[in-house]
A and B are shown apart, each in its own frame.
Chain A
Amino acid sequence: MSAAVTGLGVLAPNGVGTGDYWRHTRAGTSGIRPITRFDASRYPIRLAGEVRDFDPAAHLPGRLVPQTDRMTQLALVATEWALADAGLAPDAAHDFDFGVVTSASAGGLEFGQRELQKLWTQGPSTVSAYMSFSWFYAVNTGQISIRHKLRGPAAALVTEQAGGLDAVGLSRRLVADGTPVVITAGVDGALCPMGVAGQVPAGQWSTCDDPARAYRPFDAGASGGVAGEGGAVLVIEDGAAARRRGARVYGEIAGYAATFDPPPGSDREPGLGRAAATALRQADLVPDEIDVVLADAAGTLAGDRAEADALEKLFGPRGVPVTAPKTMTGRLSAGAGTLDVATALLAMRDGIIPPTVNTGGDGYGHQIDLVTSLRHVPVRTALVLARGIGGFNAAVVLRAADRRSEGMEEA
């Protein structure tokens, strides 16, 4: 069994659609800019990765728009694109064959804030009939399954920024257990006043006003992350079945593991390195065989130090190219994991490693080989890392779909 990725749908702050995203990501073009969604001038955090120049309403049925938060609208559009990319058009004949796994962190918070405002200023009877599901964390799973008539296994996971990779891990397991196709949607975002206000005391986000300097992971001047919205939807299916139907296979999900950090204040090692090592073992690969790491890249001094230490321990000093294209999108919460998986698969396809921007790697040069400009190099395998606030760690290992693995499968 192998879990193959056969479709991608990307909606990111620096690119609408896979092609647009990839063009800008290769070129190092960032989508981090001042917040426009609301007046953030009096907030200490004033930058974000907003998906701009994109009106979801132009892509969605009119009936769906009033009942969905923006992050659900983005997820629905990206799902449509991913299914088209995979050449799949689910219909009644597929019935229980298609599953849906999503992850989002704060639910449809902007929708929720609007209804809270109505409740507290105009009374309970003004709260929308759509509020009961437009805000809750499972909304994207429900709306995607309804729109495309997908009746297979369904789930919604929340592990903050690790959520996208956890969704990939669960999807891989579902495919292994016999679900023919799973739609994996890590699409997230809460760039509304409540969402940004929540970031202020958490201390993980940058208060810098300069889009070129705010989010600088693995840099001595790191000042925190910048939040963003969007993500990617992946179509994951049984590899052999995908090849039988002649589908293009971007690559396979070869390993996945999740761990949790020791409690705050413990002197025990954080769990990121263990997640990475376990995912590699599952993929039956040794560290030397990994061609690129897509780092979590917290952008905080402590977070970057811990990740650099973990990578150095696993791969040796400067043992593997490390990149963080999320420096161009901001941290997309649960959207980050699936977008990084998509990015790694595109890197494999084109034999390039996209850059980490706005950072020089100062102070980490002896530990990690940070890719700061586009690098042309064959990419056959990739390790994708993510960490969620609170102590969540997840790692996914990707492998190119080559003749060798195909032959092994038939044998």
Chain B
Amino acid sequence: MSRRVVITGIGVVAPGGVGTPAYWQRLLSGRSATRTITAFDPSGFRSRMAAECDFDPTAYGLTPQEIRRMDRTAQFAVVCTAECVADAGLAGGEVPATRVGVTVGSAVGATIKLESEYVVLSDGGRRWEVDPGYAVPHLYDYLVPSSLAAEVAWKVGAEGPVSVVSDGCTAGIDALGYAAQVIRCGDADVMIAGGTEAPIAPITVACFDAIKATSVHNDDPEHAHRPYDVSRNGFVLGEGAAMLVLEEYEHARRRGARVYAEIAGVATRANAFHMTGLQAEGREMAEAIRVALDQARIGADRVDWVSMHGTGTKQNDRHETSAIKRSLGPHAYRTPASSIKSMIGHSLGAVGALETAACALAITHGAVPPTANLHRQDPELDLDYVPLQAREHRVDVALNVGSGFGGFQSAMVLCRPEAVSR
């Protein structure tokens, strides 16, 4: 395919940092933004921590009506959108609306509003036949997450292909992959794409409690998410968003746009094994990596950094370590492979986009973020996970991997466009 896709704008709302500069600083600091949940009273839950965003929508220019209408998930996406569009120098509406599209990744949509409105309509759960007389005007938008993409599209005036990709916890990567494909096949020149999630609500916390996927280091919330550490016991739920401007390469060059990185290959495979379980071999993730590298026409030995999935569950960390070794071969041992989830928690359908932003920033700035809270590496896990401290390191090619409930295994290859001959 001749059309290439590059990232020309980044917008981020993350725990510990709103805005791209604050986000990147946070990632290099090695400090976790996880804490005891403040969004609601978490006593009575098994895992009582989260990586929360200190986010005041009024500070980012949302109108009172927008704040009332939008769930926090949509607010994150819209604020990120404004940042990435300005960052790309496209805030003036230079591109025809019909050539601009939107793809938003989200795993669980407008959970907070959905739950809080349910509680009202059901009178605290007492009524199965909930009372529609108490329904708020936008209740339907909280049930159906395509509303997230609509909000973003209205904000930027996009009239090209607009959609939500909801591939569970790989939605962030997959939404960007979907958007890149829309540009490649010529259906748009610019896509506003990424992932957003605001899942910190009782129902989400209870869900992960029930399957014991979340960490119970409740006495040490700031160091609870410990990928690859012997004492790891699951992830800390997070929230946030990253929206990127994806642009056709020649289109970006013609207007002299700054290019962070090229999205050179993306692939998703299903493990067809279990809705939540993983097999230790990591075969399907390895296949996704192989296909993404193949699309990019980049050899496995050229990968300079792997942004890992790093959920810090026993099975995930084994699974992805196997997948990286299976796909990169001996080069796996020479490649720094860290997980920023150790700092920003696991924001489900958003985190793949946040990690993609981190890859683009690593390529731009020549540094890789560390895996925080990794003091005693599990002897079974033998890659270079970049413990505790960020590293100066030239990154021409970054690999971003993700894994999600439903069996989704995704991989994205990003590169410095001029570093790769086509």
Contacts and interface: CB of A to CB of B under 8 A. Distances in A.
A–B contact (CB under 8 angstroms): yes
Interface of A: 38-40, 42-45, 67, 96, 99-100, 105-107, 109, 112-113, 115-121, 123-125, 127-129, 131-133, 135-139, 141-143, 145-146, 148-160, 163, 166, 170, 173, 190, 193-202, 257-264, 271, 274, 333, 388-392
A44 to B, nearest CB: 7
Interface in B216-273: 267-273
B166 A136 contact: yes
Main secondary structure of the interface of A (DSSP, over half): mixed
A138 B159 contact: no
B207 A127 contact: yes
A45 B129 CA distance: 13
19 contacts: A100-B270, A105-B146, A107-B109, A115-B207, A119-B202, A120-B125, A124-B206, A129-B210, A131-B203, A145-B271, A154-B407, A156-B167, A163-B146, A173-B185, A193-B129, A197-B130, A258-B163, A391-B150, A391-B153
B312 interface: no
B154 A263 contact: yes
Given A154-B269, A190-B143, A141 B167 contact: yes
Contacts, number: 275
Q: Which of B107, B146, B274, B287 has the most CB of A within 10 A?
A: B146
B92 interface: no
For the complex of A and B, the 7 pairs showing the least CB-CB separation, nearest first, are: A142-B406, A120-B125, A390-B150, A137-B166, A145-B270, A154-B270, A260-B162
A194 B143 contact: yes
B132 A121 contact: no
A201 B267 CA distance: 39
Nearest to B267: A153
Contacts of B121: 194, 197
A27 B334 CA distance: 68
Interface residues on B, range: 35 or more
Given A106-B144, A116-B118, A160-B144, A136 B154 contact: no
A143 B272 CA distance: 8
B178 interface: yes
Interface in B370-422: 404-408
Given A107-B109, A125-B46, A274-B98, 8 more contacts: A113-B130, A133-B168, A133-B406, A138-B171, A139-B275, A145-B272, A150-B272, A158-B109
Contact of A159 (B124, B128, B149, B158): B149
A53 to B, nearest CB: 23
Contacts of B267: 153
A121 B125 contact: yes
B189 to A, nearest CB: 14
Nearest to A137: B166
A158 to B, nearest CB: 4
B162 A138 contact: no
A151 B269 contact: yes
A141 B174 CA distance: 14
Contact of A155 (B130, B174, B185): B174
Interface of B: 44-46, 97-98, 101-102, 107-109, 115, 118-119, 121-122, 124-126, 128-132, 135-147, 149-150, 153-154, 157-168, 171, 174, 178, 181, 185, 187, 202-203, 205-211, 213, 267-276, 284, 287, 404-408
A133 B274 CA distance: 11
Contacts of A156: 165-168, 406
Contact of B143 (A99, A109, A128, A263): A109
Given A156-B167, A173-B185, A258-B161, A132 B143 contact: no
A260 B158 contact: yes
A128 B146 contact: no
Contacts of B139: 197-198, 200-202
B205 A155 contact: no
Contacts of B202: 119, 124
A120 B124 contact: yes
A260 B161 contact: yes
A40 B130 CA distance: 10
A145 B273 CA distance: 8
A323 to B, nearest CB: 26
A119 B111 CA distance: 14
Nearest to B44: A124
B74 to A, nearest CB: 11
Contacts of B187: 257-258
A129 B159 contact: no
A96 to B, nearest CB: 6
Nearest to B134: A197
Contacts of B171: 138
A257 B161 CA distance: 8
A253 B411 CA distance: 28
Contacts of A42: 129
Contacts of A196: 132
Contacts of A163: 146
A190 B143 CA distance: 10
Given A173-B185, A263-B154, A201 B143 contact: no
B203 A119 contact: yes
Contacts of A197: 121, 130-132, 135, 139
A69 to B, nearest CB: 13
Contacts of B211: 129, 132
Contact of A142 (B137, B141, B407): B407
Nearest to A174: B181
B382 to A, nearest CB: 27
A38 B107 contact: no
Nearest to B123: A120
B168 A142 contact: yes
A154 B407 CA distance: 9
B160 A136 contact: no
A47 to B, nearest CB: 15
A391 B128 contact: no
A386 to B, nearest CB: 12
A118 to B, nearest CB: 8
Nearest to B295: A177
B102 to A, nearest CB: 7
B327 to A, nearest CB: 14
Contacts of A260: 101-102, 150, 153, 158-162
B411 to A, nearest CB: 12
A38 B162 contact: no
A40 B121 CA distance: 14
Contacts of A193: 128-130
A150 B408 CA distance: 11
A390 B97 CA distance: 16
Given A123-B44, A390-B146, A198 B209 contact: no
A96 B276 contact: no
A390 B206 CA distance: 31
Contacts of B276: 132-133
A201 B138 CA distance: 7
Contacts of A154: 167, 268-270, 406-408
Contacts of B124: 120-121
Given A151-B269, A173-B185, A201-B138, A121 B275 contact: no
